Homo-oligomer: A and B are copies of this chain.
Amino acid sequence: MGRKVTQREIARIAGVSQATVSLVLNDRDFSNVRIPEATRERVRRAIEQTAYVADPAARRLAGLDNKIIGVFTYEPALSHESMDFYGPLLNGLEQGAERLGCDLLFFTSSPVVDGKRRMFDKRTRLRLADGCILLGQEMDGDELRKLVDEGVPFVAVGRRDEPDVPYVGIDYRTLVAELVDSVAELGHRGAAYVHLGRTSPSSVDRLAGIEQARSRSAMPVTLIDVSQQPLPAVAETIAASGLTAVVAQDSFVAEALAHELGERGVSVPREISLAVAGEVEGHAVAGHRLSGCHLPRIEIAGEALAVLQQLIGGAEPPSDVDTRVLLSGSVVPGETLVRPEAVR
* Chain A residues within 8 Å of B, Cβ to Cβ: 1-4, 51, 53-61, 66-68, 76-80, 83, 87-88, 90-91, 93-95, 97-98, 101-109, 112, 120, 122-128, 146, 148-153
Contacts and interface: CB of A to CB of B under 8 A. Distances in A.
Contact of A55 (B59, B61, B78): B61
A57 B56 contact: yes
Contacts of A120: 51, 53
Contact of A148 (B2, B57, B105, B152): B2
Contact of A106 (B2, B94, B123): B94
A206 to B, nearest CB: 26
Given A56-B57, A151-B3, A97 B104 contact: no
Contacts of A88: 80
The 8 A-B residue pairs whose C-beta atoms are closest, nearest first, are A2-B151, A57-B60, A53-B127, A97-B108, A78-B94, A78-B90, A57-B57, A104-B106
Given A53-B124, A57-B61, 18 more contacts: A1-B149, A2-B148, A2-B149, A2-B150, A54-B122, A54-B124, A56-B57, A57-B59, A57-B127, A58-B61, A61-B61, A79-B95, A80-B88, A94-B108, A97-B106, A102-B109, A103-B106, A105-B106
A3 B150 CA distance: 6
Nearest to A149: B2
A57 B152 CA distance: 14
Contacts of A60: 57, 128
A93 B58 CA distance: 27
Contacts of A59: 57
Contact of A109 (B3, B80, B98, B106): B98
Q: Taking each of A4, A57, A153, which has the highest tally of chain B beta carbons within 10 Å of its own beta carbon?
A: A57
A3 to B, nearest CB: 7
Contact of A51 (B58, B108, B109, B150): B150
A109 B100 CA distance: 8
A80 B87 contact: yes
6 contacts: A2-B150, A56-B127, A97-B106, A98-B108, A104-B106, A105-B105
Nearest to A67: B109
Nearest to A48: B122
Contacts of A53: 120, 122, 124-128, 150
A41 to B, nearest CB: 15
Nearest to A58: B61
A266 B233 CA distance: 48
Given A93-B78, A106-B94, A108-B94, A57 B128 contact: yes
